[in-house]
Structure 1
């Protein structure tokens, strides 16, 4: 299951760059024409960079939580497939958004909704995986900070804020919401370190 998931992630992240075509220059090729063609691709490259790292974050997260899994069942497999469905959708929503960066809001809303859906599906997948009733992980690992359900909600929160800002703020404000992920993660790290201390103290007490 992990190998299949890695293959899907690899294909999805590769498709992002395939959507960027070499600029066509009409007439004689000159330095000015080549530079102008590249400048027109800047929005697409910005979208590619954002999409690349968003997918990369989810790939890292998938490995982080699945290292705890010792068993799997049919429901976990299908939850994982649903999660991957949202991943393979990202190259399309990303390309649609970067094609119409500032003109209209629908592509941006679709892209934000796509990323938010991925985060929520990861949360659902992680919730099922960490539930001790399902017998998929060591019960002692249930409280591990890497299985905290707050973390997968950070990216969806940022992109849902972006959808909200579409209706109440200038376009350039809403389009920059992906950068919120980094300060939100910085805030979350405080919670993560606290959970780490609590988890370590709990296991030290049990060992004693």
Structure 2
């Protein structure tokens, strides 16, 4: 009777090792993306025989502030995506082809961040670079939600024996926030187009405050449901 037990143990160890490889690969993608974005932060090149003075150095620092801001924003978002990815994969005990494909699609969109952050710091008078960067963010969120949903709905084949009720509430909340983002982004875009004066077009960004209020309401609403669900148990 000891032989079958030993065989099952070896199989479990093998699955755990292969799942660990998937997690390490994902972590490597996150780390490389953050590194590539940091490489974009550099002072402007000086002409031949020129040297930095205090004034020119401060001017150069001011010049790279948009790049630093784009890096900080992207770093925060990628860090948040990594944390949610970590929480999702902590539920897993096995993997399948569907999980691998969805994880690769998610990492594909994460890999576009260096390109997106390089666009938003360009000196431009068109909205398209900002729209592309925003689209990358939305695609990352959507891809991770698809991956999260697949993990939670995979049954007992892939996840460990834990209660995922709170995870399901979190998933519904994130889906609602993503839909809200899409609606607000569309309204902001059309508001931008409808404002005739170029100097007033920045008012379209006020839709961000509407999104913040709605997102806060969604968080409070779902937060109240969690203790009730726990009490029923």
Is TM > 0.5 for Structure 1 vs Structure 2? yes
2:169–2:222 Cα contact (<8 Å) kept = no
Counterpart in the other structure of 1:193:
223
Does structure 2 conserve the Cα–Cα contact (< 8 Å) formed by 1:71 and 1:135? yes
Matching of residue 30 in structure 1 with residue 60 in structure 2: no
**Deviation of the 1:111 alpha carbon:** 0.5
1:61-119 superposed Cα distances (whole Å, 9 cap, x missing partner): 1112222222211110110010000101111111112224x521111010011100011
Q: Judge which range, 176-185 or 142-151, deviates more.
A: 176-185
**Which stretch of structure 1 is more off in the superposition, 3-12 or 170-179?**
170-179
1:173-197: CA deviations, max 9, x gaps? 4568778776555434323422421
Aligned partners of 1:105, 1:117: CA distance in 2, in Å? 18
Computing the radius of gyration over CA atoms, which structure comes out larger, 1 or 2? 2
Could you tell me how far apart the structure 2 residues matched to 1:137 and 1:72 are?
Answer: 9
Answer yes or no: is the 8 Å Cα contact 1:119–1:156 preserved in 2: no
TM-score w.r.t. structure 1 length? Answer: 0.82
State the alpha-carbon separation in 1 of the partners of residues 202 and 26 from structure 2: 35
Task: Show the 5 A alignment for 1:131-150.
Answer: 131-133=153-155, 135-138=157-160, 141-145=163-167, 148-150=170-172
Q: C-alpha distance in 2, partners of 1:139/1:147?
A: 18
Matches of 1:85 and 1:189, distance apart in 2: 29
Aligned match of 1:206? none
**Quick check: 132-141 or 193-202, which moved more?**
132-141
Which 5+ residue runs of structure 1 have no aligned equivalent?
Answer: 204-208
1:64 is aligned to 87
Size of the aligned set, in residue pairs, is 202
Distance (Å, rounded) in 2 between the aligned partners of 1:72 and 1:147: 23
The corresponding residue for 2:104 is 81
CA contact (8 A) 1:112 1:163 kept: no
Matched, 1:19 2:45: no
Correspondent of 1:166 among 189, 214, 217: 189
Aligned to 2:111, what secondary structure does the other structure show? helix
1:157 CA displacement: 4.0
Cα distance in 2 for partners of 1:39, 1:112 equals 24
1:82–1:132 distance in 2 versus 1, CA, 3 Å: closer
Distance 1:134 1:36 in 2: 59
Query: Would you say the 8 A contact 1:8–1:88 is kept in 2?
Result: yes
